[in-house]
Homo-oligomer: A and B are copies of this chain.
Amino acid sequence: MVTVARVQSLWVIVPAGGAGTRLWPLSRAGAPKFLLDLTGAGRTLLQQTWDRLEPLAGADQMLVVTGQAHAAAVADQLPKLPADHLLAEPSARDSAAAIGLAAAVVAVQQPDAVVGSFAADHLIADQAAFAEAVRQAVLTAEQGYVVTLGIEPTYAATGFGYIHTGEVLGIEGAPDAHQVLQFVEKPDAVTAAGYLTAGGYRWNAGMFVVRAQVLLDQLAAHRPALHAGLLEIAAAWRTPHQQEVLERVWPTLEKVAIDYAVAEPAAAAGRVAVVPADLGWHDIGDFAALAPLVARSYPTGLGRELRVLGDHDQVSATDAGGLVVATGGRRVVVLGLDDVVVVDTPDAVLVTSRESAQQVKAVVDALRAAGRTDLL
């Protein structure tokens, strides 16, 4: 257990959304990725997110924003989350509305608060490094910056945007904080390899820290209608009108990602910083990414190793390597296949290879097109 110090001004916002389509049939519309224990840690991704942030901010400075469909499950998984810190969105209106509402609610209560937004479905192995990066990010945010955490790239990933890092800012207590020169979109493989060779590029994991008021000011400057709507809802928060105002205003809010609405305009204005961090960070995009993160691993012969998630007593394997997810309550037997992925659930079983794991999204799309919402 790592002991970390409270960061007094920090309020944490956890946007808990995203279906994790590439993790079907384990991840479903009704049980998305963040509600699942994907690694066999005994805690769901949401709970692990809580566990790494609550020591920094304290339970009474934690907020979770999620869809109404998942509010009950979130409350159930996070018993220490104050009831009025669970913001249930009437509908999905993208991240600027979700995070902006939370920031507006915080700003009403504590005008000089710093908010940090951290996704509910990421894994971070190095809690001490994470706490230190957040601490430096908060100090930097207090100087008025929008501060991202920049993940040290470990390979030429094409699935993430990158942050092009400039000079050290020289902020006291935050020696690692750098200027951000530019956010760059998900690159192709050649460009990504070039970033790795050049150095100075970090993965954008979507984690950022900013004074609530700075975030709201950026919204006011670039998305005035969205800003006005969020303030109207926040003003009614914890009043008898809360639900009426939310239901009236929310559907009118612009759907826009926080990156476009806040981070990119701020970067263009030279107001974005990055704290580079080597955290053992993973976003678990698909079963190929998940396999090495699963705790239980069994040698099965021929030098092969099988990772097992779920009910490992139900799994038997010989000469089999890869990943088995056993959540169907049935016996799962794997013989003589390497790099295989078997995901057994009560109503669907997926058999694929690590190599083909990305194609799972197409399966889900096809099921949706075929009207099989019962399986989504």
Contacts and interface: CB of A to CB of B under 8 A. Distances in A.
Interface of A: 25, 316, 318-319, 328, 330-337, 340, 342, 344, 346-353, 355-356, 359-360, 362-363, 366-367, 372, 375
A313 to B, nearest CB: 10
A328 B351 contact: no
A25 B372 CA distance: 27
Given A318-B359, A363-B316, A352 B336 contact: yes
A353 B367 CA distance: 26
B348 A336 contact: no
A356 B337 contact: yes
A348 B331 contact: yes
Contacts of A350: 333-335
A248 B295 CA distance: 58
B348 A333 contact: yes
B335 A352 contact: yes
Contacts of A334: 350-352
Contacts of A351: 332-335, 337, 340, 342, 351
Contacts of A348: 330-333
Nearest to A332: B349
Task: Indicate how many identical chains form the complex.
Answer: 2
Contacts of A340: 337, 351
Nearest to A346: B330
Contact of A337 (B316, B319, B333, B352): B352
A102 B321 CA distance: 50
Nearest to A357: B335
Given A331-B349, A349-B328, A349-B349, A336 B316 contact: no
12 contacts: A25-B333, A318-B356, A331-B348, A331-B367, A333-B348, A333-B351, A334-B352, A335-B356, A336-B352, A337-B337, A337-B353, A337-B356
A62 to B, nearest CB: 38
A26 to B, nearest CB: 12
A336 B356 contact: yes
Contacts of A332: 348-349, 351
A328 B350 CA distance: 13
Given A319-B356, A356-B319, A363 B335 contact: yes
Instruction: Give the top 5 A-B pairs by smallest Cβ distance, nearest first.
Output: A336-B356, A331-B348, A335-B352, A335-B356, A333-B350
